[in-house]
Structure 1
Amino acid sequence: MQKEWGAFIGTIASQAKLVSTCRIGFEGNLILKDGQVENTINVSNNETLSGNMVVKSSSLKDATEMAKGCPILTLGGSVEVRNVIPMES
């Protein structure tokens, strides 16, 4: 899979659309609305996020087309595409 990931990320980077990417660990703390801290991560339907990638695109549709080439799809995984809302100071 490293070859497939390298090709996927390399294609996006070669188009100057890659902003950042990283794997997300499986250890962490979940802070609940009442301030209680649990030594766990958010898991829904036996799935959790395992990485993220920020890309430059002209639209959500364009980013979705890029994501269709993600190697995780061949392993039965899924990809979620979202917009990013910049924080204003």
Structure 2
Amino acid sequence: MKGTVYIDLRHLKYFLMGSNELHFTKAAEKLGITQPTLSHQIKILEQELGFLLFNRIGKKIELTKVGEIVQLETVNIQISLQNISSQIEAFTKVLN
């Protein structure tokens, strides 16, 4: 794995939908994008991380062990982002 990894939050969003659906076409539909776009964005994320996140078996996909780690941490990132938003909202209410 590379020393410094730069990850686009959009890629994590796409990855998480793919990991929840375990089907790129269904995930793409839910995201409102095309399946080739989703597949390409997942490949960019995999290249940045230096590991495959999914085993591709025909049209089916399954998470690799690294994919499982990324899925867990992506959920944690989402929770942190929601916490940031909630805390800023609470802070701005105090100011008003």
The reply to whether TM is greater than 0.5 is: no
Structure with a larger share of its residues in strand = 1
Q: TM-score, normalised by structure 2?
A: 0.28
Q: TM-score, normalised by structure 1?
A: 0.29
Structure with a larger share of its residues in helix = 2
